[in-house]
Amino acid sequence: MDAAGLEILSAEECLRLLDEVAVGRIVYTDRALPAIQPVNFIVDGPSVVIRTASRSRLAIAATGAVVAFEVDEFSDEWVRCGWSVVAVGMAAQVTDERELAAVRRRGLEPWAPGAREYYLRVDIAIISGRRLKARQRVCGR
C-alpha cells in the first residue's frame, strides 16, 4: 500500500493491465508545453506501439523524446473502484524492416481517419501502477 492507501501494482501486473485496454494517453512535450493525446495501441514485449501520421504533432514532437503513457479503468462513482498504470520511456520511429513487418502483422488499426503509416514505439523504462479496491471486489482482475 502507498501512503494514500492504494495498492501498489507489480511491474508484471502493470504490463498485464496495459495489455487489456484498447485506448491510452500519450504525454509528450509539444512546443515547450505538455500535450496529452488519446491513442489506440498495442503492447509489444516491453514496449507500446502507436500508429500515427508521419507529419502529426505526435510523430514530430515525441520521436526521440522521453514520453509517458497512461491507461486506466474506473467504475462508476458509487462503486469507486479502479486502477491506473503509467509507463515512461523513449519514443522512436519503428524503421527496421523486419520489426516493421512484425508490428504490421499485429493488426494495429488506427481509429482516426487518414493515412497513418508511422509506427511509434515507446520502450518502457519505468512502469508503475496503483489500484483502488472497492468494498467487495478487486478491480482489474
- List, for residues 66-111, the tens digit of each pLDDT value: 999 999 998 766 667 899 999 999 999 999 999 999 999 999 998 8
Burial of 28 (0-12, 13-18, 19+ CB in 10 A): buried
Contact predicate 110/52, CB 8 Å: yes
CB contact set of 123 (below 8 Å; sequence gap of 6+): 46, 47, 89, 90, 92
Check whether 139 has a pLDDT greater than 90: no
Q: What is the pLDDT of residue 141?
A: 57
Report the distance separating Cα 62 and Cα 81, nearest Å. 32
Distance from C-alpha of 93 to C-alpha of 91, rounded to nearest angstrom: 7
User: For the chain, which domains are there?
Assistant: 7-132 (2.30.110.10)
> Would you call 127 helix, strand, or coil by DSSP?
strand
pLDDT of 133 strictly over 90: no
Give percent of the chain above pLDDT 70.
91
Task: Calculate the average pLDDT of the chain.
Answer: 91
Q: What is the pLDDT of residue 97?
A: 96
Joined together, the cell numbers standing for residue 10 give 507489480
- Which is higher by pLDDT, 137 or 59? 59
pLDDT digits (tens, 9 = 90+) for 5-58: 789 999 999 999 999 999 999 999 999 999 999 999 999 999 999 999 999 999
pTM over 0.85: yes
Q: Please state, in angstroms and rounded to a whole number, the distance separating the CA atoms of residues 76 and 93.
A: 37
